[in-house]
Structure 1
Amino acid sequence: MHKEFWTSAFAVIATLLPFAASAQDHPLAQYLEVPGATTTLPVDTAKTPWSLQFSKEAQAAFENFHYQMGGDHALYYNQNLSEFLPTAYSSPHPIYMPLERAPKADIADAVVFPVNEGKLSLNEYIEHPNHRVQGIMMVHKGKVVFESFPGMNPMDRHVWMSPGKATVGLVMAMMEEEGKIDTSLPVSDYASELQGTLWDDVPMLDALNMSAGLALEETLESITDPASIIVRFFSAEFGAPNPMTGETENWLDILRDAEAIAGEKPGEVFRYSSAVTQVAVLAAERIDDMTWADLFETRIWGKVGARMDFQHQLMPDGTAVSHGLISTTLEDFARFGMLFTPSWHKTAHEQVVSDAVLKRLQTAGNVEAFRAGAKFAGLTEEFGEEPLMNSMQFDAIFEDGALYKHGNIGQGIYIDPARDFVGVYYSTNGYIPPYGEDKAMGFLRTAAKHFAGE
């Protein structure tokens, strides 16, 4: 597209927050009149086959920003991303381990949490059309105690979005425990493609904690600036041209140009960035000398008694987009979380997450850097209490050791090892009022405490 178009479009998008009072008043209303960009279909539409016409229209309209708006077409993309991007697979262990069901149906009414519409029960939240939850599952002491599929079927795959970063944090913590990586050394020691750049001065731990001190943060300003490095990065991931120049770029060349934030050193401020996650993916592939899909199967998924493969969507150069574009069933999403709990043996044939690795993930963050970052206030509001810090790709670590990772348009994984609890959810929840609020994480932490008798 032409530079003038993108300059105009991004100028409009820049008004995205604060939200307008209604969809009609929203500054993006005219732009989102594009078919499939807005929300007109209930989420339960995704439980039945799509018409051929709808499928073709979604396929023709696919591009990153259109997807991220979370409209009707996003329901299709979340189920079928392997149609649009090259996809690699990690196979599970050949012996399937069914999860035991011990449903606690009363939990949906017993757990309440404040949201925009008032103090709702979990059941009311799930059923409310404003929140567009497609699937939610809770596992306590290795048993599925609650599951609901208002907008998908149990065997449907769905994109994780940013909870995928937890897979990267886990792999890097495992490599550190094995002595394959020293997280005090610079990123470029392990990702040689970045040598001779400012990455030479960024310790790997600071990168894993998203405090690299580089201008890669995903803020409203940066993601609505067509000339920003983060917009260029996302475009390159999808094989799309630079929105300002029309040239197709390589994501690594873009990150080599990352600039320092004036007056800030690595490790000082938590600045959320998917680009930093991809640097860790590159390093892990070099360290194990295999693709991400193969190393993930070798280290993790090949030990899990899941029923289905783990899908990794790829960039044009074959790099797995592990910061978010991975797809599994809801149950397999929960199985990943179970690996961090005392009940890991209910889903895996051997232990994947050692006690030392779990402890590292729970303690590697920096409290001061977390509180200095933009996400601290939002996470506190979403949970109704202050998390302690972020750590190694997880958005929030609590004093009791619980871990949480959120994803765009409403995905999340909450892992509570001390309470032997895992909660996961999928949604397709766009940005236009009355949509956009995601409080499922607050319900999950409340449920974990409920099962623990607190």
Structure 2
Amino acid sequence: MHVIKLPVASALILGAFALPALAQDNPLQKYLSVPGAMTTLPVEAAKEPWSLQFSRDARAAFENFHYQMGGDHALYYQQNLSEMLPTAYAAPHSDYIPLERAIDDSIGENVRWTTSEGEMPLSEYIVHPNHRVQGMMMIHKGKVVYEQYPGMNQMDRHAWMSPGKATVGLILALLEEEGKLDMSKDVVNYVPQLAGTNWDGISVLDAANMETGLALEETLDAIIDPSSIIVRFFAAEFGSPNPLTGEMENWLDILKTAEKLEGEEPGEVFRYSSAVTQVSVLLAENLDNMTWADLFQERVWGKVGAREDIMFHLMPDGTAVTHGLISTTLEDFGRFGLLFTPSWAATAHEDIVSDAVLERMQTAGNPEAFRRGAKFAGLTDEFGEEPKANSLQWDAVFEDGALYKHGNVGQGLYVDPARDFVGVYFSTNGYIPPYGEDRAQGFLRQAAKYLGGE
């Protein structure tokens, strides 16, 4: 176990960024000194019941920045978000379809990838204290071939974080296939609440690919600036006040104030933003005239023979925080990925993702805009090869059609339809070194190739 004891002014690692120390007068600084923000517990602590006092302390300290530090309290939040935020549920199909197991013990030793500690087998990586993986599952040709739970129990719920964005991309593609949505039209045609703002002239496709030309990117500067639109947005969706003014704000009102980036038009640069995802959530609700949980049950989860409900955690106004605050078991996370593979019938009663929808998700991105974006270099390093593009909320699409979506503090969804492979993982990987490095995605791509005989 690594116990980190750092002064309040120590440097942070937040997401993919190495951050300088926050200024002492920065309102976000207070979250670093709150007990539970730092990492002192091993992830296996989450396999046992939490003490009553720990649970109370975690609930009392809950706040976006505190949660995303990935420290001890984050272990609790990952499992228990429904205690922190209002939650809506989408029910699965009434007929449960158990996933078959065909565990391949060779995967742990034969699948290798490079980390900051050097090249290592998956069996070493998954229990390494610096990477804090809680669970990992691989599904090949519809059967579970790898399953490990070093930091959670099989039936524990866990937050997906940003892989939840893949649910938004899927719903957009389904709406388009049905003819209810024209992605070439402007966002404001479907979200009139944004009409008359700088969202005018931004197409649905450009928004779905995070190429709005608006100052909404989750950059280093934005994340540590308490006055930034991103910090204000995250605070609002968690029901927390503006960190500078103490005022309670509405997330959509904040996004109405988004400014245009000088010299940049929509569609030119991929700029990652969870806030943009939420606009697509509202778009889908407007089109289907029902809440996100209900429309997702009608279109997706109600056709899946999953074991449990999928949980959507809500903002104060009832909007599902679908860009990241979704909770399921690890297996049900994997079931979502299975929908994109030839083995969809191993989990679903209907073919939800048609060949046309899958192709749309693999090809809707703009390779030039992707390469201009900040994520391109990081993804290339993580996989050891260049992805082709981002597309419809997926971080990366490869030439062979594989798709990947990463999540904060170490979550991941990797889908490889051509190899009929799905890999998912959950982690709580804190932001203070030696933590913060997520290399699981590389192992999953290597595993898909290994199982494919390559």
TM-score (normalised: structure 1): 0.94
Aligned amino acid, residue 190 of structure 1:
Y
Deviation at 1:14, TM superposition (A): 8.1
Q: Give a deviation string over 1:70-120, Cα, whole Å, max 9, x none.
A: 000000000000000000000000000000000001100000001000001
Match of 1:326 in 2: 326
Match of 1:344 in 2: 344
Deviation at 1:18, TM superposition (A): 3.5
The number of aligned residues is 439
Match of 2:387 in 1: 387
Match of 1:45 in 2: 45
Match of 2:90 in 1: 90
Deviation at 1:215, TM superposition (A): 0.2
Match of 1:368 in 2: 368
- The 1:446–1:103 alpha-carbon spacing in structure 2 relative to 1, beyond 3 Å, is same
Aligned amino acid, residue 392 of structure 1:
L
- The 1:29–1:133 alpha-carbon spacing in structure 2 relative to 1, beyond 3 Å, is farther
Contact 1:44 1:151 in 2 (8 A): yes
Contact 2:131 2:437 in 1 (8 A): yes
Q: Which secondary structure state, in structure 2, belongs to the residue aligned with residue 32 of structure 1?
A: helix
- The 1:32–1:124 alpha-carbon spacing in structure 2 relative to 1, beyond 3 Å, is same
Q: Which secondary structure state, in structure 1, belongs to the residue aligned with residue 126 of structure 2?
A: helix
Q: Give a deviation string over 1:37-87, Cα, whole Å, max 9, x none.
A: 111101010001001011011111111100000000000000000000000
Match of 1:152 in 2: 152
Would you say 1:294 and 2:294 are equivalent positions?
Answer: yes
The Cα RMSD (Å) is 1.7
Match of 1:120 in 2: 120
Match of 1:310 in 2: 310
Match of 1:443 in 2: 443
CA distance in 1, matches of 2:411, 2:91: 23
CA distance in 1, matches of 2:105, 2:195: 55
CA distance in 2, matches of 1:304, 1:349: 6
Contact 1:14 1:224 in 2 (8 A): no
Deviation at 1:33, TM superposition (A): 4.2
Deviation at 1:30, TM superposition (A): 9.3
TM-score (normalised: structure 2): 0.94
Match of 1:243 in 2: 243
Give matches, 1:233-272, under 5 Å.
Answer: 233-272=233-272
CA distance in 1, matches of 2:245, 2:33: 26
- The 1:30–1:61 alpha-carbon spacing in structure 2 relative to 1, beyond 3 Å, is closer
- The 1:313–1:15 alpha-carbon spacing in structure 2 relative to 1, beyond 3 Å, is closer
Contact 1:183 1:205 in 2 (8 A): yes
Deviation at 1:440, TM superposition (A): 0.2
CA distance in 2, matches of 1:435, 1:60: 25
Match of 1:60 in 2: 60
Match of 2:5 in 1: none
Contact 1:13 1:224 in 2 (8 A): no
Match of 2:283 in 1: 283
CA distance in 1, matches of 2:12, 2:103: 45
Match of 2:425 in 1: 425
Q: Which secondary structure state, in structure 2, belongs to the residue aligned with residue 390 of structure 1?
A: strand
Contact 1:93 1:306 in 2 (8 A): yes
Aligned residues with identical type, % of pairs: 71
Aligned amino acid, residue 310 of structure 1:
I
Deviation at 1:243, TM superposition (A): 1.0
Deviation at 1:34, TM superposition (A): 2.6
Deviation at 1:223, TM superposition (A): 1.0
Contact 1:19 1:433 in 2 (8 A): no
CA distance in 2, matches of 1:106, 1:417: 22
Aligned amino acid, residue 87 of structure 1:
T
- The 1:250–1:19 alpha-carbon spacing in structure 2 relative to 1, beyond 3 Å, is closer
Match of 1:204 in 2: 204
- For structure 2, the 5+ residue unaligned runs are 1-7, 21-27
Aligned amino acid, residue 373 of structure 1:
G
- The 1:234–1:19 alpha-carbon spacing in structure 2 relative to 1, beyond 3 Å, is closer
- The 1:18–1:313 alpha-carbon spacing in structure 2 relative to 1, beyond 3 Å, is closer
Contact 2:11 2:432 in 1 (8 A): no
Match of 1:35 in 2: 35
Runs of 4+ with >4 A deviation: 11-17, 28-31
